[in-house]
Structure 1
Amino acid sequence: MDTKVKAAVLVKPGHVEIREFDMPQLGNGAAICKVLMAGVCGTDKHSYRGETVQYKGTENEIDLPFPIIQGHEIVMEIVAIDEAGARNLSYDGDELKVGDRITICPDVVCGKCWYCKNIPNYPWCEHLQFSYGNMRSCDDGNHLYGGFSQYIYLEPGTRAYKVPDGLPDEMACFTEVMCVTYTLEKAREFSSFSLEGFNFGDTVVVQGAGPLGIAHIAMARMLGAGKIIATDISDYKLDIAKAFGADVVINAETTTAAERIALIKSETNGRGAEIVVECVGRPEVFPEGLKYLRKAGMYLEPGNFVDCGGVDVNVHEICANNLRIVGMTNHTHTKYKTVMEMMLRTKDRFPWERIFSHKFSLAQTEQAIQTSMTKDSMKVLIDPWA
């Protein structure tokens, strides 16, 4: 195994450096993995821009601890693991070994608080230990806590998942994103109430056709949505949205808010959509999205994970229209295996390869992040060994 490790370090907003670290010693219950591929997440873009506050207003509120190795959508190969790690790191109970391909849930939780004990399928921990790629500086501990690196150090308490044979590295990187789409499953829980939640044949509007939006479109189609409408400012992304199941696409750059609202109403017999999902990651789209809903419609908010400020909302309209708003700050870590198996089964149903638009080397990490912010990119990947 190598003795030195190269990693891309976000020293401060807007500035990435390639740094070299000593390979850490393997601790009890831990693992060291070779990073095979890492995806650039919307959160990574926010951090690069200086939008660095996460979990605002909760016990876990943080401002990103620079310098940091970003990257939490990762597929990796185990190169060192002890007996305790082999037994305990797999969430699904698999015995892990050197050579296994795995991915991880980025959140390491306490396992003891009220949320960990009562809501075990989402990492809503009161005492979140840290998140890979987000919440631990590379100046601390074993340094290698992000995927934009040749190697990553997995601490005890990490939840790892074996990647099925036949699932390409690129798609394995997309697992965490697909797990966010269980917001739609949350909406299904409300379907026992008359006219509420997400029912078979319902209209779903997805604001934003980037990787998270495409993931929600695919999941909505698999869960039995009727008409799916996607909005974005990029015709390139909207074309991919159609390939994944969107029936109607609207370019938000060439239409007005009034035109978009009217079009969605016309596509839904004048009522509006049952479900709207915000996947843009900007607060300014929120008020308009509420106007896409029919009475008793449900707005799902997984996109604004990072604090980008507030917007004016007329609360009376929420009351007058009986709207339901579901915020979702995290993904379901119980579904990684399910999601990977689903992607493997649907390799011929959906054009998954179209999601992965660009691939860069570790030395090009800053270019990769900047490219991911353009209209003509989708999921941007970093190959540390390219």
Structure 2
Amino acid sequence: MHALVYRGPGQRAWQEVPDPRLEADTDAIVRVDATTICGTDLHILKGDTPEVAPGRILGHEAVGTVEAVGPAVRRVGVGDRVLVSCITSCGTCRYCRQGRYGQCLGGGGWILGHLIDGTQAESVRVPFADTSTYPAPSGVGDEALLMVADILPTGYEVGVRNGCVQPGDSVVVVGAGPIGLSAILSAKLYTPARVIAVDVADNRLEAAKRFGADVTVNDGREDAAAVVQELTGGLGADVAIEAVGVPDTFELCTRLVRPGGHVANVGVHGRPATLHLETLWIRDVTITTGLVDTSSTPMFIELLSGHAIDAAPFVTHHFGLDEFELAYDIFSDAADTGALKVVLARARG
């Protein structure tokens, strides 16, 4: 088969690789029908994630069809259409029993495209298939369902839920890429008084409006702190969600939040950020970090099935499975291309 292989910082290739095979009784082999590229993949290519070894197949999101299962797999079978989660769960360790699958101690967590071969391929081996895949509901297309593999649970769990968004809150989301847009969309489930989107790209701010942002701020031309202060009567935001992963945006969030508020960091950081405790210590600010657990995945599948949310607007570009090189070029130049999520799909036939 062919797959997108990481060859070291700045190097990638769509190349022939061995077919995946069952390695444990709880494995499944899934034919990839649709997959996508994540901002985390770009961090890997920049060298920000050194534990990813050259030769690794990238990717951690997919919708596909089960081709083979190990003898211990009970909940999915050959021919089933499934969502492959970005987080793998053993289902039995201390953290999995708490629903904190991202911290799995039994061989799971974020492993696809990280510690084992991932989903940017024609097929993928999925460990712990019973607890790491979800049956695809009828009436929900591959593209919409694919948004539940990572970005919707991540924006919600690590941003909105960790940030403790409440009705009537002022919420500022710094970074209007796919994760920031997911945070905006899911924050609206809690009826905040206002959601403010901050970015430096006008096309992403336009997208933020479509996803529910009430106010947008181009921080390259405007003073985001002044705008937030004016909108909140001088207090600052109740919740500031960081969805970029660079020091400047994290530090901006700590300036935008009110005393007693929450800063929820979602972005993947490849460099240290300064924690200004000399000003924060007296302001009762709570700062959270986190890796998505995907405990909210069933909820989002239900919201999609019931047409309570619309995930289709996330997808801006479509490619065939063999067009990964072009797709990466488009996705990595999002400021100019307007790319949000790109979908690579197997040809139907």
| Fold equivalence (TM over 0.5) | yes
- TM-score by structure 2 length? 0.90
The answer to whether the 8 A contact 2:30-2:64 is kept is yes
The verdict on how the C-alpha distance between 1:71 and 1:385 changes in structure 2, with shifts beyond 3 A counting, is farther
Q: Does 1:318 align with 2:314?
A: no
Shift of residue 109, structure 1, vs aligned partner? 4.9
Shift of residue 220, structure 1, vs aligned partner? 0.5
Note the aligned Cα RMSD (angstroms): 2.1
Shift of residue 72, structure 1, vs aligned partner? 0.7
Return the letter of the residue paired with 1:35: V
SS of corresponding position for 1:215: helix
Residue in 1 aligned with 2:152? 178
1:286 to 235, 250, 260: 250
319-328 or 336-345, larger mean C-alpha shift? 336-345
For 1:98 and 1:322, locate their aligned partners in 2 and report how far apart those are by CA, in whole Å. 53
Identity of aligned residues (%): 27
The verdict on how the C-alpha distance between 1:128 and 1:315 changes in structure 2, with shifts beyond 3 A counting, is farther
Residue in 2 aligned with 1:361? 320
For 2:58 and 2:242, locate their aligned partners in 1 and report how far apart those are by CA, in whole Å. 24
SS of corresponding position for 2:281: helix
- TM-score by structure 1 length? 0.82
Deviations along 1:285-310, one digit per CA (max 9) or x if unpaired, are 11111111111010001212xx4111
For 1:79 and 1:269, locate their aligned partners in 2 and report how far apart those are by CA, in whole Å. 58
For 1:290 and 1:331, locate their aligned partners in 2 and report how far apart those are by CA, in whole Å. 22
Q: 1:44-193 counterparts in 2 under 5 A?
A: 44-53=41-50, 63-85=51-73, 87=74, 95-109=75-89, 114-117=94-97, 119-126=98-105, 128-129=107-108, 131-136=111-116, 145-156=117-128, 159-175=132-148, 176-180=150-154, 181-183=156-158, 184-188=160-164
1:201 to 144, 157, 168: 168
For 2:7 and 2:38, locate their aligned partners in 1 and report how far apart those are by CA, in whole Å. 18
The verdict on how the C-alpha distance between 1:37 and 1:244 changes in structure 2, with shifts beyond 3 A counting, is same
Shift of residue 370, structure 1, vs aligned partner? 2.5
Deviations along 1:364-384, one digit per CA (max 9) or x if unpaired, are 212222321221111122224
For 1:116 and 1:345, locate their aligned partners in 2 and report how far apart those are by CA, in whole Å. 28
The verdict on how the C-alpha distance between 1:187 and 1:261 changes in structure 2, with shifts beyond 3 A counting, is closer
The verdict on how the C-alpha distance between 1:354 and 1:96 changes in structure 2, with shifts beyond 3 A counting, is same
User: Which structure 1 segments of 5+ residues have no match?
Assistant: 54-62, 88-94, 137-144, 189-197
Number of residue pairs matched by the alignment:
339
Residue in 1 aligned with 2:191? 224
1:336 to 294, 297, 305: 297
Deviations along 1:48-93, one digit per CA (max 9) or x if unpaired, are 122224xxxxxxxxx21111111111111112224422x1xxxxxx
For 1:363 and 1:253, locate their aligned partners in 2 and report how far apart those are by CA, in whole Å. 37
SS of corresponding position for 1:382: strand
For 2:126 and 2:118, locate their aligned partners in 1 and report how far apart those are by CA, in whole Å. 10
Return the letter of the residue paired with 1:178: L
Shift of residue 273, structure 1, vs aligned partner? 0.7
Return the letter of the residue paired with 2:103: W
User: Which structure 2 segments of 5+ residues have no match?
Assistant: none
For 2:55 and 2:38, locate their aligned partners in 1 and report how far apart those are by CA, in whole Å. 18
Residue in 2 aligned with 1:380? 342
For 2:236 and 2:103, locate their aligned partners in 1 and report how far apart those are by CA, in whole Å. 32
Q: 1:190-269 counterparts in 2 under 5 A?
A: 198-255=165-222, 259-269=223-233
Deviations along 1:104-147, one digit per CA (max 9) or x if unpaired, are 23333555654345x333422356456111112xxxxxxxx311
63-72 or 313-322, larger mean C-alpha shift? 313-322
Return the letter of the residue paired with 1:19: Q
For 1:13 and 1:242, locate their aligned partners in 2 and report how far apart those are by CA, in whole Å. 35
Deviations along 1:312-363, one digit per CA (max 9) or x if unpaired, are 33212111211110111x223322121111123236x54x322111122333
Deviations along 1:166-204, one digit per CA (max 9) or x if unpaired, are 11111111112111112322343xxxxxxxxx3211010
Q: Does 1:6 align with 2:6?
A: no
For 1:327 and 1:334, locate their aligned partners in 2 and report how far apart those are by CA, in whole Å. 16
